[in-house]
Amino acid sequence: MGCDGGTIPKRHELVKGPKKVEKVDKNAELAAKWKYCALSQEKLRRPIVACDLGRLYNKDAVIEYLLDKSAERPNTEAAAHIRGMKDMKELNLTDNPEWEGEGRNTKGDRYEDMHCAMFICPVVGLEMNGKHRFCYLQTCGCVFSDRALKEVKTEICHKCGDPFQGDDIVVINGTKEEVEKLKEKMEEKRAKAKSKKSKKSKVSETVSKPSDSKDNTSSPQVDLAERSSEQNGSESSQSAVAGPSGSSSTSKGAKSLTASTTKRSIQNMEEKSEVFKSLFTTHSTAKRTKDQTSNWVTHTPYHFLLVTMYLAQSKTTSTKERFVLF
């Protein structure tokens, strides 16, 4: 059966050998890392953030993940080290002027360059497509190519001018070895932050303890003051019951208290200015003379009601008296 018409079968068609190892397309792998979010697998769109390991995310996807971690999402392992938005840094990217958008080849009649990227390096002009090594600064979030940082060696950002150090440079989508180094660096940073928090808590506890002891020492004084006030109150009540002599002594004590608590008027204070004194009604400018005061007297409806009730009750009032009342 088969092989009719003089066809000659080949060996691979008759003998089944071992399967060939499938190779991953490099272009597809680069596009998955540099053009798609590492968490939601959606296309990258502004605002774009990066973690301490150099992975790229859409900010909306990270916020949704942090709000509801129980939801079933693919690639949650890529965001397992993210505790909050403080662990992320929003990137300051430079747009590629040659990028025409996703719908530039809708008809399919033109060559589509798979390596054309949305962003470029602002110093050298290399495209951020995965073929070139790129880094971002943790201080300001600006993104540059590794070539630009090596050729132009400065401690100031080329784009925004903020100062940075060598430890602030994070490689984007680095190799496994680079990712492991970044993990160690991230763990060391978090350990230092925890030690600082523990030291601050200890300092606050030591500061609070002496304050508590001071409060405890002041409490007996407060108790003594309360007891003395109670005794004074009992003595005053006894003096009130004693008679006129007791009342006279209390009146003298009250006069002495009032004399001691009298306040000076603001107008007699020499250290105050005239402008400050003029703000109060006790100033001479606030007082009116007799010429400035009016002789008009305003009556309320309640006054007229009382007058009418009086006239109705008293029948002997004359017309003159009524005129005076009104």
3-state secondary structure at position 205 = helix
Q: Note the pLDDT of residue 4.
A: 64
Model confidence, pTM: 0.55
Q: Note the pLDDT of residue 82.
A: 92
Domains, the chain, in order of start with CATH, read 25-99+114-174 (3.30.40.10)
266-300 pLDDT per residue, tens? 888 888 888 788 878 787 777 766 666 655 555 55
Residue with tokens 């002009």: 125
Q: Report which residue type is found at 247.
A: S
134 Cβ neighbours under 8 A, 6+ residues apart: 121, 128, 143, 144, 145, 146, 171, 172, 173
pLDDT < 50: residue spans in the chain: 213-214, 217-220, 222, 224-225, 234-251, 253-254, 257, 259-260, 316-317, 320, 323-324, 326
Please tell me the number of Cα atoms within 13 Å of 157 on its side-chain side.
21
* H or E element in which residue 211 lies: helix 176-242
Q: Note the pLDDT of residue 210.
A: 55
Name the strands in the sheet holding 169-171, side by side, starting at the edge strand that comes first in the sequence. Answer: 143-145, 134-137, 169-171
Q: Note the pLDDT of residue 242.
A: 41
Using CA atoms, how far apart are residues 298 and 126, in angstroms rounded to an integer? 89
Q: In whole numbers, what is the pLDDT of the chain averaged over residues?
A: 76
3-state secondary structure at position 92 = strand
Q: Torsion angle, CA of 146/159/173/88, rounded to 10 degrees?
A: 150
Q: Which two tokens stand for residue 296?
A: 């008009």
Q: Note the pLDDT of residue 75.
A: 81
Q: Note the pLDDT of residue 171.
A: 94
Please tell me the number of Cα atoms within 13 Å of 59 on its side-chain side.
11
Provide the CA 247 distance to its chain's centre, in angstroms: 64
Q: Note the pLDDT of residue 45.
A: 92
